[in-house]
Protein backbone atom coordinates (compact mmCIF):
# COMPACT_ATOMS: atom_id res chain seq x y z
CA UNK A 1 0.00 0.00 0.00
CA UNK A 2 1.27 3.48 -0.80
CA UNK A 3 2.13 5.42 2.36
CA UNK A 4 1.13 9.05 2.47
CA UNK A 5 3.20 10.66 5.17
CA UNK A 6 4.34 14.26 5.23
CA UNK A 7 6.91 13.73 8.00
CA UNK A 8 7.33 9.97 8.06
CA UNK A 9 10.01 9.71 10.72
CA UNK A 10 7.91 11.66 13.23
CA UNK A 11 4.52 10.26 12.25
CA UNK A 12 5.73 6.66 12.64
CA UNK A 13 8.12 7.18 15.57
CA UNK A 14 8.13 4.26 18.05
CA UNK A 15 5.88 5.10 21.04
CA UNK A 16 8.68 5.02 23.66
CA UNK A 17 10.75 7.41 21.59
CA UNK A 18 7.74 9.68 21.12
CA UNK A 19 7.13 9.78 24.86
CA UNK A 20 10.79 10.61 25.52
CA UNK A 21 10.54 13.44 22.99
CA UNK A 22 7.39 14.74 24.69
CA UNK A 23 9.05 14.63 28.09
CA UNK A 24 12.08 16.53 26.87
CA UNK A 25 9.91 19.22 25.26
CA UNK A 26 7.55 19.43 28.25
CA UNK A 27 10.36 20.23 30.71
CA UNK A 28 11.50 23.11 28.48
CA UNK A 29 7.99 24.33 27.79
CA UNK A 30 7.00 24.50 31.47
CA UNK A 31 10.08 26.58 32.20
CA UNK A 32 9.32 28.85 29.22
CA UNK A 33 5.77 29.44 30.44
CA UNK A 34 6.74 29.89 34.10
CA UNK A 35 9.38 32.45 33.17
CA UNK A 36 7.25 34.45 30.73
CA UNK A 37 3.56 34.16 31.64
CA UNK A 38 2.93 35.68 35.10
CA UNK A 39 -0.70 34.50 35.07
CA UNK A 40 0.28 30.83 34.75
CA UNK A 41 3.23 31.29 37.13
CA UNK A 42 0.70 32.42 39.75
CA UNK A 43 -1.47 29.36 39.07
CA UNK A 44 1.58 27.10 39.53
CA UNK A 45 2.64 28.92 42.69
CA UNK A 46 -0.86 28.57 44.12
CA UNK A 47 -0.71 24.83 43.43
CA UNK A 48 2.77 24.64 44.95
CA UNK A 49 4.40 23.28 41.81
CA UNK A 50 7.65 24.59 40.34
CA UNK A 51 9.28 23.91 36.96
CA UNK A 52 11.90 21.70 38.70
CA UNK A 53 9.07 19.35 39.76
CA UNK A 54 8.32 18.48 36.15
CA UNK A 55 10.71 15.82 34.86
CA UNK A 56 8.57 14.38 32.12
CA UNK A 57 5.08 13.40 30.94
CA UNK A 58 4.53 11.41 34.15
CA UNK A 59 4.52 14.70 36.10
CA UNK A 60 2.02 16.47 33.85
CA UNK A 61 -0.85 15.85 36.28
CA UNK A 62 0.86 18.14 38.82
CA UNK A 63 0.26 21.21 36.64
CA UNK A 64 -2.86 23.39 36.95
CA UNK A 65 -5.53 23.35 34.23
CA UNK A 66 -6.37 26.28 32.01
CA UNK A 67 -9.91 26.97 30.83
CA UNK A 68 -11.54 29.32 28.38
CA UNK A 69 -12.33 31.60 31.31
CA UNK A 70 -8.62 32.03 31.99
CA UNK A 71 -8.16 33.10 28.38
CA UNK A 72 -11.03 35.56 28.68
CA UNK A 73 -9.61 36.94 31.92
CA UNK A 74 -6.22 37.51 30.31
CA UNK A 75 -7.63 38.99 27.09
CA UNK A 76 -5.96 40.23 24.96
CA UNK A 77 -2.25 39.79 25.74
CA UNK A 78 -2.09 38.18 29.17
CA UNK A 79 -0.99 34.75 27.89
CA UNK A 80 1.72 36.03 25.59
CA UNK A 81 4.99 34.18 26.25
CA UNK A 82 7.29 36.06 23.85
CA UNK A 83 7.80 39.78 23.10
CA UNK A 84 4.96 41.09 20.96
CA UNK A 85 7.53 42.08 18.33
CA UNK A 86 8.25 38.37 17.75
CA UNK A 87 4.63 37.67 16.81
CA UNK A 88 3.56 37.84 13.19
CA UNK A 89 -0.15 36.89 13.30
CA UNK A 90 -3.23 36.54 15.42
CA UNK A 91 -6.26 34.32 14.84
CA UNK A 92 -9.43 34.28 16.87
CA UNK A 93 -12.44 32.18 17.81
CA UNK A 94 -15.86 33.09 16.50
CA UNK A 95 -16.75 34.34 19.98
CA UNK A 96 -20.50 33.90 19.93
CA UNK A 97 -20.57 34.17 23.71
CA UNK A 98 -18.38 36.40 25.83
CA UNK A 99 -15.05 37.84 24.79
CA UNK A 100 -13.23 36.35 21.86
CA UNK A 101 -10.13 34.29 22.46
CA UNK A 102 -7.10 35.68 20.68
CA UNK A 103 -4.28 33.30 19.74
CA UNK A 104 -0.89 34.72 18.72
CA UNK A 105 1.76 33.09 16.57
CA UNK A 106 5.44 33.54 15.86
CA UNK A 107 6.60 32.53 12.39
CA UNK A 108 7.85 29.29 13.94
CA UNK A 109 4.36 28.61 15.39
CA UNK A 110 2.76 29.12 11.98
CA UNK A 111 5.30 26.86 10.37
CA UNK A 112 4.56 23.97 12.73
CA UNK A 113 0.81 24.51 12.44
CA UNK A 114 1.02 24.33 8.65
CA UNK A 115 3.11 21.14 8.94
CA UNK A 116 0.23 19.60 10.90
CA UNK A 117 -2.24 20.57 8.17
CA UNK A 118 0.12 19.19 5.52
CA UNK A 119 0.16 15.86 7.40
CA UNK A 120 -3.65 15.85 7.28
CA UNK A 121 -3.78 16.61 3.55
CA UNK A 122 -1.25 13.90 2.71
CA UNK A 123 -3.07 11.39 4.94
CA UNK A 124 -6.16 12.07 2.81
CA UNK A 125 -4.12 11.19 -0.29
CA UNK A 126 -2.99 14.73 -1.20
CA UNK A 127 0.11 15.25 -3.36
CA UNK A 128 1.66 18.09 -5.35
CA UNK A 129 -0.53 16.98 -8.27
CA UNK A 130 -3.70 17.90 -6.41
CA UNK A 131 -5.94 20.94 -6.67
CA UNK A 132 -7.10 21.80 -3.15
CA UNK A 133 -10.22 23.94 -2.85
CA UNK A 134 -10.27 25.60 0.55
CA UNK A 135 -13.72 26.90 1.41
CA UNK A 136 -13.25 27.29 5.13
CA UNK A 137 -13.46 30.94 6.10
CA UNK A 138 -10.27 33.00 5.79
CA UNK A 139 -9.50 35.83 8.17
CA UNK A 140 -9.72 35.45 11.93
CA UNK A 141 -11.07 31.88 11.69
CA UNK A 142 -8.23 29.35 11.58
CA UNK A 143 -9.81 26.99 9.03
CA UNK A 144 -8.88 28.86 5.82
CA UNK A 145 -5.36 29.97 6.79
CA UNK A 146 -4.47 26.56 8.27
CA UNK A 147 -5.50 24.38 5.34
CA UNK A 148 -4.16 26.98 2.91
CA UNK A 149 -0.72 26.80 4.53
CA UNK A 150 -0.81 23.00 4.66
CA UNK A 151 -1.74 22.76 1.01
CA UNK A 152 1.19 25.01 0.06
CA UNK A 153 3.54 22.81 2.05
CA UNK A 154 2.35 19.71 0.22
CA UNK A 155 2.88 21.63 -3.02
CA UNK A 156 -0.71 21.29 -4.20
CA UNK A 157 -2.36 23.98 -6.27
CA UNK A 158 -4.38 25.88 -3.67
CA UNK A 159 -7.70 27.59 -4.40
CA UNK A 160 -8.17 30.11 -1.57
CA UNK A 161 -11.94 30.36 -2.02
CA UNK A 162 -12.97 31.17 1.56
CA UNK A 163 -16.56 30.44 2.54
CA UNK A 164 -19.78 31.36 0.78
CA UNK A 165 -20.69 32.24 -2.81
CA UNK A 166 -21.77 28.72 -3.70
CA UNK A 167 -22.19 29.59 -7.38
CA UNK A 168 -18.54 30.57 -7.63
CA UNK A 169 -17.42 27.56 -5.57
CA UNK A 170 -19.11 25.25 -8.05
CA UNK A 171 -17.74 27.09 -11.06
CA UNK A 172 -14.15 26.89 -9.77
CA UNK A 173 -14.60 23.30 -8.62
CA UNK A 174 -15.70 22.21 -12.08
CA UNK A 175 -13.53 24.49 -14.26
CA UNK A 176 -10.29 24.01 -12.31
CA UNK A 177 -11.01 20.34 -11.59
CA UNK A 178 -10.55 20.54 -7.84
CA UNK A 179 -9.55 17.14 -6.40
CA UNK A 180 -9.63 17.83 -2.65
CA UNK A 181 -12.32 19.86 -0.91
CA UNK A 182 -11.77 21.46 2.51
CA UNK A 183 -14.79 22.92 4.35
CA UNK A 184 -17.18 22.22 7.21
CA UNK A 185 -19.18 19.00 6.78
CA UNK A 186 -22.42 20.97 6.77
CA UNK A 187 -21.17 23.08 3.86
CA UNK A 188 -19.95 19.94 2.04
CA UNK A 189 -23.47 18.53 2.34
CA UNK A 190 -24.86 21.79 0.97
CA UNK A 191 -22.41 21.77 -1.95
CA UNK A 192 -23.48 18.18 -2.73
CA UNK A 193 -27.11 19.26 -2.73
CA UNK A 194 -26.37 22.33 -4.88
CA UNK A 195 -24.46 20.29 -7.46
CA UNK A 196 -27.35 17.87 -7.74
CA UNK A 197 -29.81 20.72 -8.23
CA UNK A 198 -27.71 21.96 -11.12
CA UNK A 199 -27.92 18.54 -12.75
CA UNK A 200 -24.42 17.30 -11.89
CA UNK A 201 -23.90 13.67 -10.93
CA UNK A 202 -21.27 12.68 -8.32
CA UNK A 203 -18.97 11.37 -11.07
CA UNK A 204 -19.06 14.70 -12.95
CA UNK A 205 -16.64 16.40 -10.55
CA UNK A 206 -12.92 15.60 -10.23
CA UNK A 207 -12.98 15.46 -6.42
CA UNK A 208 -11.46 12.40 -4.76
CA UNK A 209 -11.36 13.44 -1.10
CA UNK A 210 -12.70 15.96 1.37
CA UNK A 211 -11.15 17.18 4.62
CA UNK A 212 -14.00 18.23 6.85
CA UNK A 213 -14.08 19.45 10.43
CA UNK A 214 -14.64 22.42 12.76
CA UNK A 215 -17.98 21.01 13.95
CA UNK A 216 -19.35 17.66 15.12
CA UNK A 217 -20.57 15.33 12.39
CA UNK A 218 -21.74 11.76 12.45
CA UNK A 219 -20.76 8.63 10.48
CA UNK A 220 -24.17 8.84 8.83
CA UNK A 221 -23.38 12.37 7.64
CA UNK A 222 -20.04 11.09 6.32
CA UNK A 223 -21.78 8.44 4.20
CA UNK A 224 -24.25 11.00 2.93
CA UNK A 225 -21.51 13.42 1.83
CA UNK A 226 -19.39 10.65 0.31
CA UNK A 227 -22.34 9.56 -1.78
CA UNK A 228 -23.43 13.00 -2.93
CA UNK A 229 -19.92 14.17 -3.91
CA UNK A 230 -18.44 10.80 -4.94
CA UNK A 231 -15.45 11.15 -2.59
CA UNK A 232 -13.82 9.73 0.52
CA UNK A 233 -14.51 12.11 3.43
CA UNK A 234 -11.82 12.60 6.11
CA UNK A 235 -12.25 14.20 9.51
CA UNK A 236 -9.92 16.91 10.82
CA UNK A 237 -9.94 18.40 14.30
CA UNK A 238 -8.43 21.39 16.00
CA UNK A 239 -9.18 24.52 17.95
CA UNK A 240 -7.94 28.08 17.87
CA UNK A 241 -6.40 27.78 21.32
CA UNK A 242 -4.00 25.04 20.17
CA UNK A 243 -3.30 26.71 16.76
CA UNK A 244 -6.27 25.63 14.62
CA UNK A 245 -7.09 22.67 12.36
CA UNK A 246 -4.60 19.81 12.21
CA UNK A 247 -4.20 19.02 15.89
CA UNK A 248 -5.62 15.65 14.83
CA UNK A 249 -6.57 14.13 11.49
CA UNK A 250 -7.82 10.90 9.97
CA UNK A 251 -5.70 8.48 7.98
CA UNK A 252 -7.06 6.06 5.39
CA UNK A 253 -8.14 3.65 8.14
CA UNK A 254 -10.65 6.22 9.43
CA UNK A 255 -10.79 4.72 12.89
CA UNK A 256 -10.26 7.88 14.87
CA UNK A 257 -7.99 10.88 14.31
CA UNK A 258 -4.24 10.73 15.00
CA UNK A 259 -3.24 13.51 17.38
CA UNK A 260 0.08 15.12 16.44
CA UNK A 261 1.74 13.99 19.63
CA UNK A 262 5.13 15.44 18.87
CA UNK A 263 3.47 18.86 19.31
CA UNK A 264 0.64 18.12 21.75
CA UNK A 265 0.16 15.92 24.79
CA UNK A 266 -3.44 14.73 25.07
CA UNK A 267 -5.13 13.67 28.30
CA UNK A 268 -8.70 12.58 29.05
CA UNK A 269 -10.13 13.80 32.33
CA UNK A 270 -13.35 13.47 34.23
CA UNK A 271 -15.01 16.84 33.47
CA UNK A 272 -16.51 17.03 36.96
CA UNK A 273 -13.53 16.07 39.13
CA UNK A 274 -10.56 16.83 36.86
CA UNK A 275 -9.19 13.33 37.55
CA UNK A 276 -7.06 11.89 34.72
CA UNK A 277 -8.83 8.83 33.28
CA UNK A 278 -7.22 5.68 31.87
CA UNK A 279 -6.98 5.02 28.13
CA UNK A 280 -10.30 4.03 26.63
CA UNK A 281 -12.40 6.14 29.02
CA UNK A 282 -14.78 8.74 27.72
CA UNK A 283 -14.10 12.20 29.06
CA UNK A 284 -12.92 15.73 28.39
CA UNK A 285 -9.93 16.20 26.14
CA UNK A 286 -7.08 18.29 27.56
CA UNK A 287 -4.11 19.52 25.51
CA UNK A 288 -0.64 20.71 26.39
CA UNK A 289 1.20 22.38 23.52
CA UNK A 290 4.84 21.43 23.47
CA UNK A 291 6.25 23.63 20.75
CA UNK A 292 4.19 26.79 20.64
CA UNK A 293 6.32 29.82 21.44
CA UNK A 294 3.84 32.70 21.57
CA UNK A 295 0.71 31.08 23.03
CA UNK A 296 1.82 27.91 24.78
CA UNK A 297 -1.16 26.59 26.71
CA UNK A 298 -0.49 23.92 29.34
CA UNK A 299 -3.28 21.51 30.24
CA UNK A 300 -5.97 23.40 28.35
CA UNK A 301 -9.46 21.99 28.85
CA UNK A 302 -11.16 21.80 25.46
CA UNK A 303 -14.62 20.79 26.75
CA UNK A 304 -14.71 18.28 23.87
CA UNK A 305 -15.81 14.84 24.95
CA UNK A 306 -14.10 11.84 23.34
CA UNK A 307 -12.10 8.65 23.85
CA UNK A 308 -8.38 8.05 23.15
CA UNK A 309 -7.00 4.83 21.71
CA UNK A 310 -3.39 3.63 21.55
CA UNK A 311 -4.26 0.54 19.51
CA UNK A 312 -1.83 0.01 16.65
CA UNK A 313 -3.06 1.57 13.42
CA UNK A 314 -2.47 -0.23 10.15
CA UNK A 315 -1.54 3.07 8.46
CA UNK A 316 1.80 2.88 10.28
CA UNK A 317 1.29 6.07 12.27
CA UNK A 318 2.05 5.61 15.96
CA UNK A 319 0.36 8.72 17.33
CA UNK A 320 -2.62 8.21 19.63
CA UNK A 321 -6.10 8.41 18.06
CA UNK A 322 -9.09 10.35 19.34
CA UNK A 323 -12.66 9.37 18.55
CA UNK A 324 -14.92 11.87 16.83
CA UNK A 325 -15.94 14.34 19.54
CA UNK A 326 -19.66 13.97 20.10
CA UNK A 327 -19.83 17.65 20.78
CA UNK A 328 -18.59 19.91 23.52
CA UNK A 329 -19.57 19.20 27.07
CA UNK A 330 -21.40 22.53 26.89
CA UNK A 331 -23.27 21.46 23.70
CA UNK A 332 -24.86 18.69 25.70
CA UNK A 333 -28.45 19.53 26.50
CA UNK A 334 -30.20 18.21 29.54
CA UNK A 335 -33.80 17.72 28.51
CA UNK A 336 -36.19 16.40 31.14
CA UNK A 337 -33.15 15.15 33.01
CA UNK A 338 -31.76 13.20 30.06
CA UNK A 339 -28.37 14.05 28.50
CA UNK A 340 -28.83 14.72 24.80
CA UNK A 341 -26.21 15.47 22.16
CA UNK A 342 -27.42 16.98 18.86
CA UNK A 343 -25.32 14.34 17.07
CA UNK A 344 -27.57 11.58 18.44
CA UNK A 345 -30.56 13.20 16.76
CA UNK A 346 -28.58 13.63 13.53
CA UNK A 347 -27.78 9.91 13.52
CA UNK A 348 -31.45 9.01 13.70
CA UNK A 349 -32.49 11.47 10.97
CA UNK A 350 -29.94 10.23 8.48
CA UNK A 351 -30.61 6.57 9.30
CA UNK A 352 -34.29 7.21 8.63
CA UNK A 353 -33.49 8.58 5.17
CA UNK A 354 -33.73 12.32 5.80
CA UNK A 355 -31.25 14.94 4.57
CA UNK A 356 -28.96 16.56 7.17
CA UNK A 357 -30.95 19.79 7.24
CA UNK A 358 -32.54 20.15 10.64
CA UNK A 359 -33.00 22.45 13.62
CA UNK A 360 -33.52 21.46 17.23
CA UNK A 361 -35.51 23.74 19.50
CA UNK A 362 -35.62 23.24 23.24
CA UNK A 363 -37.88 25.28 25.48
CA UNK A 364 -39.54 25.13 28.86
CA UNK A 365 -43.32 25.37 29.00
CA UNK A 366 -45.18 25.11 32.32
CA UNK A 367 -41.97 23.98 34.03
CA UNK A 368 -41.51 21.10 31.63
CA UNK A 369 -38.85 20.88 28.91
CA UNK A 370 -40.01 20.61 25.31
CA UNK A 371 -38.03 19.22 22.39
CA UNK A 372 -39.04 20.17 18.84
CA UNK A 373 -37.13 18.79 15.88
CA UNK A 374 -37.62 20.50 12.51
CA UNK A 375 -36.51 18.33 9.61
CA UNK A 376 -36.50 19.38 6.02
CA UNK A 377 -38.05 17.15 3.39
CA UNK A 378 -36.42 16.62 0.01
CA UNK A 379 -38.56 17.61 -3.01
CA UNK A 380 -39.41 13.89 -3.58
CA UNK A 381 -40.52 13.39 0.02
CA UNK A 382 -42.51 16.62 -0.03
CA UNK A 383 -44.88 15.36 -2.73
CA UNK A 384 -46.47 12.97 -0.20
CA UNK A 385 -50.04 13.51 1.01
CA UNK A 386 -50.65 15.34 4.29
CA UNK A 387 -51.65 12.14 6.04
CA UNK A 388 -48.51 10.37 4.77
CA UNK A 389 -46.38 13.22 6.13
CA UNK A 390 -48.15 13.09 9.51
CA UNK A 391 -47.47 9.35 9.66
CA UNK A 392 -43.80 9.99 8.87
CA UNK A 393 -43.59 12.62 11.63
CA UNK A 394 -44.90 10.07 14.10
CA UNK A 395 -42.51 7.37 12.89
CA UNK A 396 -39.53 9.70 13.17
CA UNK A 397 -40.57 10.87 16.63
CA UNK A 398 -40.73 7.19 17.63
CA UNK A 399 -37.21 6.54 16.31
CA UNK A 400 -35.85 9.56 18.22
CA UNK A 401 -37.66 8.40 21.37
CA UNK A 402 -35.98 4.99 21.03
CA UNK A 403 -32.55 6.66 20.80
CA UNK A 404 -32.98 9.27 23.55
CA UNK A 405 -35.69 7.93 25.80
CA UNK A 406 -37.70 11.14 25.54
CA UNK A 407 -40.52 12.12 23.24
CA UNK A 408 -39.86 14.90 20.74
CA UNK A 409 -42.35 16.71 18.53
CA UNK A 410 -41.21 16.28 14.94
CA UNK A 411 -42.09 18.84 12.26
CA UNK A 412 -41.37 17.85 8.66
CA UNK A 413 -40.96 21.14 6.81
CA UNK A 414 -40.79 22.04 3.08
CA UNK A 415 -37.56 21.84 1.07
CA UNK A 416 -35.20 24.82 1.52
CA UNK A 417 -37.00 26.16 4.58
CA UNK A 418 -34.06 25.59 6.93
CA UNK A 419 -31.20 28.00 6.54
CA UNK A 420 -27.97 26.52 5.09
CA UNK A 421 -24.63 27.24 6.65
CA UNK A 422 -21.44 28.27 4.90
CA UNK A 423 -19.33 27.74 8.01
CA UNK A 424 -20.20 26.06 11.28
CA UNK A 425 -23.87 25.08 11.31
CA UNK A 426 -26.07 26.33 14.14
CA UNK A 427 -28.41 23.41 14.77
CA UNK A 428 -29.72 24.06 18.26
CA UNK A 429 -31.84 26.86 19.65
CA UNK A 430 -32.16 26.49 23.39
CA UNK A 431 -34.86 28.99 24.32
CA UNK A 432 -34.53 28.07 28.01
CA UNK A 433 -31.23 29.94 28.01
CA UNK A 434 -32.94 32.99 26.49
CA UNK A 435 -35.53 33.09 29.29
CA UNK A 436 -32.98 32.58 32.13
O1 LIG B 1 -12.92 24.95 14.38
C2 LIG B 1 -10.56 24.79 13.94
C3 LIG B 1 -10.83 23.94 12.76
C4 LIG B 1 -10.95 24.52 11.51
C5 LIG B 1 -10.89 22.57 12.87
C6 LIG B 1 -11.15 23.72 10.40
C7 LIG B 1 -11.08 21.76 11.77
C8 LIG B 1 -11.21 22.35 10.54
P9 LIG B 1 -12.53 26.79 16.71
O10 LIG B 1 -13.38 27.70 15.92
O11 LIG B 1 -11.70 27.36 17.80
O12 LIG B 1 -11.50 26.06 15.77
O13 LIG B 1 -13.46 25.66 17.28
C14 LIG B 1 -12.92 24.56 17.96
O15 LIG B 1 -14.70 23.12 17.18
O16 LIG B 1 -13.19 22.54 20.35
C17 LIG B 1 -14.61 21.37 18.75
O18 LIG B 1 -15.66 21.58 19.68
C19 LIG B 1 -15.09 21.78 17.37
N20 LIG B 1 -14.45 20.93 16.35
C21 LIG B 1 -13.37 21.22 15.60
N22 LIG B 1 -13.11 20.20 14.76
C23 LIG B 1 -14.04 19.23 15.01
C24 LIG B 1 -14.31 17.93 14.47
C25 LIG B 1 -11.78 25.26 14.69
N26 LIG B 1 -13.59 17.40 13.49
C27 LIG B 1 -14.01 23.59 18.34
N28 LIG B 1 -15.35 17.25 15.01
C29 LIG B 1 -13.47 22.34 19.00
C30 LIG B 1 -16.10 17.76 15.99
C31 LIG B 1 -14.89 19.71 16.03
N32 LIG B 1 -15.91 18.97 16.52
| Letter string b/e over residues 264-289, b meaning 16 or more CB atoms within 10 A of that residue's CB | bbbbbbebeeeeebeeeeebbbbbbb
**How many distinct structural domains can be found in the chain?**
2
Q: Is 236 in the pocket of ligand 1 (CB under 6 A)?
A: yes
Question: Which of 102, 117, 214 has the most ligand 1 atoms within 8 A of CB, as the residue to mutate?
Answer: 214
Q: How far apart are CA 50 and CA 47, in angstroms?
A: 9
Q: Is 240 in the pocket of ligand 1 (CB under 6 A)?
A: yes
pLDDT score recorded for residue 19? 98
Helix (H, G, I), strand (E, B) or coil at 281: coil
pLDDT computed for residue 435 by the predictor: 61
How is 332-360 classified by DSSP, letter by letter? Answer: -EEETTEEE-HHHHHHHHHHTT--S-EEE
Q: Looking at 327, 355, 380, which one is the last position of a domain?
A: 327
Closest CA relative to residue 91, chosen from 320, 249, 256, 246: 246
245 CB less than 6 Å from ligand 1? Answer: yes
pLDDT of 384 reads 77
pLDDT at 100: 82
CA pair distance 348, 344, nearest whole angstrom: 7
At residue 248, φ and ψ (nearest 5 deg) are: -145, 150
Which atom of ligand 1 approaches the CA of 302 most closely?
16
pLDDT of residue 98: 62
For the domain that residue 45 is a member of, what is the CATH number? Answer: 3.40.50.12780
pLDDT attached to residue 165: 94
Say what the pLDDT of residue 379 is. Answer: 87
Query: Residue 329: its pLDDT value, please?
Result: 66
143 touches ligand 1 (CB under 6 Å)? yes
On whether both 211 and 283 belong to a single domain, the answer is yes
In a shared domain, residues 128 and 196: yes
In angstroms, what is the span from residue 257 Cα to ligand 1's centroid? 13
194 lines ligand 1 (CB under 6 A): no
Q: Are residues 357 and 260 in the same domain?
A: no
> Low-confidence residues of the chain, pLDDT below 50?
1
Q: Are residues 11 and 160 in the same domain?
A: yes
Domain closes at, from 281, 310, 327: 327
Query: For atom 4 of ligand 1, which residue has the closest CA?
Result: 143
Domain encompassing residue 426: 333-435
Is the CB of residue 216 below 6 angstroms from any atom belonging to ligand 1? yes
Provide the pLDDT for residue 332. Answer: 79
342 and 200 together in one domain: no
276 DSSP 8-state letter: B
Instruction: Provide φ and ψ at 407, rounded to 5°.
Output: -90, 120
Cα(211) to centroid of ligand 1, in Å? Answer: 12
Q: Closest Cα to atom 28, ligand 1: which residue?
A: 216
pLDDT at 95: 60
Nearest CA to ligand 1 atom 16: 239
User: Residue 337's pLDDT is what?
Assistant: 85
Residue 246 CA, ligand 1 centroid: distance in Å: 10
Q: Which of 327, 355, 378 is the last residue of a domain?
A: 327
CATH number at residue 361: 3.30.300.30
Looking at the fold, whether 346 and 391 belong to one and the same domain comes out as yes
Amino acid sequence: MQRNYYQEQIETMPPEQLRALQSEKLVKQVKHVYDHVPYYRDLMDQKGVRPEDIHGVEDLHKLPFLTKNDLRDTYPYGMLAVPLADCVRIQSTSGTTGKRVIAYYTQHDIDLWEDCCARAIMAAGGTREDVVQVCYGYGLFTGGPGLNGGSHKVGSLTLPMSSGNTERQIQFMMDLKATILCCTPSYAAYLGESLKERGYKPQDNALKAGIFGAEPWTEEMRRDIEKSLGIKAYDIYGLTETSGPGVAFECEEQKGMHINEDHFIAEIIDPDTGEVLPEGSRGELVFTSLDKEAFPLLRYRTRDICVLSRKKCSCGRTHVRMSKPMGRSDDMMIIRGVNVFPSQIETVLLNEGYAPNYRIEVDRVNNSDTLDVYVELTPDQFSDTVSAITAKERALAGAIKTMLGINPVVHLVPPKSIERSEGKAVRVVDKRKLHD
